[in-house]
Structure 1
């Protein structure tokens, strides 16, 4: 007899699968407030190591209650009191919240020091609550100079509830601001509500994986007898989309092409825009007659406003996970949303809105278990940052899109930003434009905010051994003050990331890359090997500018001061770095590396975000006479393609090895005589190559695009990874991953457009670097 097969997929951080467990994040240098009930167990974990922790607890009368967790105050543990007393919006919000719990923030006691800063990664302590207490946990830390490697890092709180709720609903997250109206919508129900122009609507998925259909009407139009609702065709057309797809438009319009709503925040990133809300006919077609449905519910709640009912409502289907497959068919699966995920919208006119909590329990649309949707309406006086959310791992807390220390300066020059790996980055600048920015870099000097790069400090006696095992380069050959470019691979030889490694000391390094998960990966390998090494995240405290172009040295030598123990800026060699200060001995600390991503002479400046304004202002003061221009992502893409430089998600992914990605030079299989991750796979792949990255020159004036197929006759033999029109070469060029049999320079192939067969562009294989292949400019 065989037992039944049971589905037990891994679903990290989903409340419905572990209702007794809560996760909370304590930000570096920040604090988090949680409430415990008798019998609850609190686990405080130092994720990265070398991070101290402090804790305060209060009872229902606002009295210090550390004893309820078996703790005592530690003399001098004042970080929590000092942080709460700061003059910031976050501190004010915390003080107001604590005051509502009868806690006097002006007389906070000493906290309990849970441990000092000499802890290994993953170290933690458990506490059992003997009474009802409000707990504040802090990760002490402050600003750290750019050349220092001891930084505050985050803590993880795990709460194991003794009495989890019977319903599958975690507690609601705290409001984002002043609430004008709020209500909960139970599964199978809908609710109408009024929103004034300028007010904000938060649609919140309480327990995760629950869809909510949303429609809105122009309130003044209804008063005039006109039913002007969100129009899917107008919206997608004005946003430049061929058909509705997963995600949200930045603005939503009515049929008169007037804006109705704009999206301010989205912590999920996966929604269906303007499929129909579920209908009676859908359930009837599946054999479920009389099933509750969102369309009928929406018609019912809108009827008092004079809105004519519809059997199927075109709606914004928040959290509904649909996609378009290769055959143009609509597919659906369980939502991506987690407990507390939300979308925040701003009304651009007075609206009558209706929201539902979808009753669909016959397919994966609501994770097979419909739950609540919560709506909050915020005052028009509030100001919220525009953001999306990213998670570096499936069970990590969402982090909203961040602004670098230079954002105040770049946002004064442009409104054109994209979310680039969780940070706002400019695509191009008003008054300049992509072409002028490009030529400014090729002919003079350009500056770009590259803060989105991830930075990790790797410290300890086993730091060199760990990096030598995790990177393809031979790290043992790296001198103090030197930089090396390397790949980081998985065991099967596919690339996790690429980046640059700086050696700051015999046992201290800084890994700079694009992938947030790289820090966790290094930590996992160190733990497997039992190494004495710490990997500390430094991205929040090191922000950076790239200064590129033939006049970059002339500009920077005027503003970078170095002590006698460091090279002068004009003496700095290629792939070397220095530690100096801005202008003179008393200036703010800086690091400068002679690195870049443009194929030109160039440098990168690294500083603490609190010094970003000084660095930017000085750079422009000295740079304007030299013709300095700002550089956006669009121009950077043209520059790096011309130089044959690769980009994650285009030239490589975890199915691409460094040889296929065009960076085989950073895998010294012959000279590196020690093992490293992926070595055996890379030896095998190198001996039997299947594909290679090459350059293509296109005939004529039509351009290629990422993903275009490359053909020899009818057969596809490659794919375009990146392409651009090169202003300096006067040609259309592309990078292409091509079958190894076609990679000889001079080989003729064709790029397929339309369906790949009905239109072809002739192209010729050329070496990978189109511009200055000998690197004479970058080495000058």
Structure 2
């Protein structure tokens, strides 16, 4: 075993950094292993295997089968650590990684009976630690990142392992696009080389996967109603009809998109999309485009489609309209179109479902004269799957530019909320309810204000910060004073970059002297904490526990009455009655032996409320306890639309609206999280914030607007001709009976009573009179959060 360099660092091409597309050395593969999961990899003699512990403290087990079916770690140059207990535990689970490993073992004819493993990273590894091995023979390698469900009062989440394989042969042990495994057994599997097009027939209900093999390659797609084709006419996806029926100015492929023929016949719908950035439905590239660029005779997708359609006797077109998958169209404020490198990464795909029998055509675009294909045309893979397959609607999510793809996930509470609505939207990689079928946002709003409401907040990011230097790290990275935080206490804080712009906001829980939990909205928080820990050489670990801890919020005047019915706490923990604002308690459902939970007196509504944290496997039991206890109080499910209403009234900020990395906490309206006088220690961004506090430039204020029009986020705020601010959030407040807004405004015009106008259309032709008022608009003294109701 030897220490080796990292393979995944960003590379520079022509002086341009490309962190999203790291180029691995030739013959090197990268294989992530999910925390608690496993992976099977075919290995050749002489192959070099490098294992990296991404976040630290994650044990890893390696089982290597030789051609004789005997699992002997000495063939990797490693010592035996006995039976692979962690792999056996993972192997027995029902997750997708375990299913793939079981299939690999079944195909090979090998068995884990009597298998021996090598065990690494079991003595307290650091984030980024790595070890390398070399295979003496061909074989099958099983890699496991063992770990079971994490209790909510524990801080031991299983985290990812990354495996790099450097092939001794200099190439892949499997060739070509098969490196990207199919989603199921394909009925059709077509490889399209750059500069070519292929037609294929698809029956109603079947699925079409268009896959970008190497990344950054445009693929034009058209689907024609086969009944029209049989009559010699073109009945294909029509951009104008699609745009009109979907209510989009420029329909972009997404999870809920459908595409229609000119007569309104639905042809395809999008089921999965891992890229999320495609064309505005223009033309496939044409001969004229290349001619006008000075390249007459250049091969183009429209002519390629014409040649494929000729076999069906269909007339040629000078330019075929198409869904231009992976093509990065940019539309500016004047509606001018430009382009840049595609956003797609190797293996990104779009999955469609045929809504009638179709003739489809796909291309691999040949453009090598611009950024359409990143200046390097590559191949496209098309697969068709049987209609009997089940594919959940999902979108792709990455926690950072270079992170591994994750598909949209269901929270542990999803199925319970799904009993009340089908209206889920993707939020930060999870499906969350927008509103509920038999209620609606207004009714959900009033339930929260007058009784109680329950909502899913599991998409919040959770990070376990542990180790001797955990307090020092958070004291350095958060604006709040961690030295004043008691065990059992929660603090709301901002996290800043050196220039004062915000990384994120969130709550920090102190579980012990050297144990903290940071709960926030963005994965960027965890990345920033790790970067700072490494820069300061601190003895601390920052590990993601988002998938180990899901949470619901029970908010409203009767929330305490509901939770009192089922929350059990030991004598060493505060009871629900004793739990103060921004405190938490560790408890159980009902009894000493009940499901473990953490209950915090926190929320995002401006009401008395609590959040309940549990492992996803306990989520349905937790929801059932809440729902049953809430029946006498008319507990109502609560969606994101209603949440936006109550949080704007309460003056609570939201990432991307009230703050971003160009906004400091003072400008975001949360200056109270920056105790410059009482926190003596330095922290990231302090010097800039001191200067900004002494000389403010912008402030967040409240606005009361005349009339009933609700302005959009980003709408300009003007005094006369000059723009002095912009709307960050706005809502028609049910309880106040007027339109209110949060506004970031120049400090010279932030005085209460200042008359302004909110611009509509171009900002000049339509104006909404408004005036500056104190924020928050509703319950400014936070009496309701304290439980003090009139």
TM-score range, shorter chain: over 0.9
- 2:182 alignment counterpart: 175
Matched, 1:124 2:130: yes
1:392 CA drift (Å): 1.5
Matched, 1:195 2:212: no
Structure 2 unmatched ranges of 5 or more: 1-11
Pair 1:651-2:658 in alignment: yes
SS at match of 2:714: coil
Q: Which residue of 2 aligns with 1:772?
A: 779
Corresponding residue of 1:21: 28
How many positions carry a matched residue from both structures? 775
1:468 aligns with 2:485: no
Q: 1:639: which partner in 2? A: 646
CA distance in 2, matches of 1:730, 1:168: 65
Match of 1:142 in 2: 148
Partner Cα distance (1:594, 1:81) in 2: 40
Distance 1:249 1:236 in 2: 14
**Residues 293-334 of structure 1: CA deviation (Å, up to 9, x unaligned):** 101111111222233221111101011011101221101011
2:743 to 729, 733, 736: 736
Q: What is the CA deviation profile of residues 62-86 of structure 1, one whole-angstrom value per residue up to 9, with x for unaligned ones?
A: 4435333212432133222342244
Q: Which residue of 1 aligns with 2:71?
A: 64
Whole-angstrom CA distance in 2 between matches of 1:18 and 1:344: 30
Distance change (3 Å), C-alpha of 1:44 and 1:410 = same
Contact conserved, 1:444 with 1:628, CA < 8 A, in 2?
yes
For 1:41 and 1:97, how far apart are their aligned partners in 2? 21
8 Å contact from structure 2 (residues 548, 616) kept in 1: yes
Over 3 Å counting, the alpha-carbon distance change for 1:174 and 1:168 in structure 2 is: closer
Q: Distance between the aligned counterparts of 1:246 and 1:7, measured in 2? A: 32
Instruction: Tell me the distance in 2 between the aligned counterparts of 1:310 and 1:16.
Output: 39
Question: Structure 1 residues 238 and 298 mapped into 2: Cα distance closer, same or farther (>3 Å)?
Answer: same
Contact between 1:248 and 1:271, CA under 8 Å: does it hold in 2? no
Which residue of the other structure, out of 538, 547, 570, is the alignment partner of 1:563? Answer: 570
SS in 1 for 2:105: helix
Q: Which of 254, 260, 284 is the equivalent residue of 1:253?
A: 260
Provide the C-alpha distance between the structure 2 equivalents of 1:248 and 1:605, rounded to a whole number of angstroms: 30
Per the TM alignment, residue 202 of structure 1 is displaced from its structure 2 partner at its CA by 0.8
Query: Residues 305-320 of structure 1 correspond to what in structure 2 (within 5 A)?
Result: 305-320=312-327
- Match runs of 1:320-399 below 5 Å: 320-399=327-406
Q: Which residue of 2 aligns with 1:12?
A: 19
Give the Cα separation in 2 of the matches to 1:562 and 1:222.
69
TM-score (norm 2): 0.95
Question: Distance between the aligned counterparts of 1:93 and 1:39, measured in 2?
Answer: 25
Residues 86 and 746 from structure 1, CA distance in 2 versus in 1: closer, same or farther, beyond 3 angstroms? closer
Runs of 5+ in structure 1 lacking a partner?
none
**Which whole-Å deviations, capped at 9, do the CAs of 1:176-228 have from their partners, x for residues lacking one?**
11211101000110000011111111111111111100000111333355532
Contact 1:15-1:168 at 8 Å conserved across structures: no
Corresponding residue number in structure 1 for 2:53:
46
Q: 1:218 aligns with which of 225, 230, 245?
A: 225
Verify the 8 A CA contact 2:254 2:273 in the aligned structure 1: no
Shift of 1:380: 1.1
Structure 1 residue 597 corresponds to structure 2 residue 598: no
Task: Find the residue that maps to 2:504 and give its secondary structure.
Answer: strand
Matches for 1:195-594 after TM superposition, within 5 Å = 195-244=202-251, 250-594=257-601
Give the C-alpha shift of residue 366 in structure 1.
0.6
Question: Which deviations, in whole Å up to 9, do the C-alpha atoms of 1:692-714 show, x marking residues without a partner?
Answer: 00000001111111010010101
Counterparts of 1:259 and 1:6 in 2: how far apart (Å)? Answer: 43
What secondary structure is seen at the aligned counterpart in 2 of 1:272? coil
- Distance in 1 of aligned mates of 2:708 and 2:241: 32
Out of 38-47 and 143-152, give the one that drifted further. 38-47
Asked if 2 retains the 8 angstrom alpha-carbon contact of 1:390 and 1:401, the reply is yes
Q: Which moved more, 1:592-601 or 1:683-692?
A: 683-692
CA distance in 1, matches of 2:436, 2:452: 15
CA distance in 2, matches of 1:289, 1:168: 35
Q: Give the distance between the partners of 1:726 and 1:6, measured in 2 at CA.
A: 52
Of the three residues 606, 615, 623, the one matched with 1:608 is: 615
Could you tell me how far 1:653 is from its partner in structure 2? 0.2
3-state SS of the aligned residue for 2:282? strand
Structure 1 residues 176 and 245 mapped into 2: Cα distance closer, same or farther (>3 Å)? closer
Any conservation in 2 of the 1:210–1:370 contact (CA below 8 Å)? yes
Return the offset for 1:168.
11
- Aligned equivalents of 1:180, 1:171: Cα separation in 2: 15
SS in 2 for 1:134: strand
How far residue 22 of structure 1 moved from its aligned partner, in angstroms, is 2.6
Change (3 A) 1:248 1:382: closer
Partner SS state of residue 599, structure 1: coil
TM superposition shift of 1:58: 2.2
Given the alignment, which residue of 739, 749, 754 partners 1:747? 754
Cα RMSD for the two superposed structures: 1.9
The secondary structure found in structure 1 opposite 2:229 is helix
* Counterparts of 2:154 and 2:703, CA distance in 1: 44
TM-score, normalised by the number of residues in structure 1: 0.96
In the superposition, relative to structure 1, how do residues 133 and 9 fare at CA in structure 2: closer, same or farther (>3 Å)? farther
Partner of 2:712: 705
Partner of 1:97: 104
For the 8 Å contact 1:471–1:677, the answer to whether it is kept is: yes
Quote the Cα distance in structure 2 between the aligned partners of 1:707 and 1:13: 29
CA distance in 2, matches of 1:424, 1:553: 27
- Greater Cα shift, 123-132 or 347-356: 123-132
- Partner of 1:571, secondary structure, is coil
1:626-705 mapped onto 2 (5 Å cutoff): 626-705=633-712
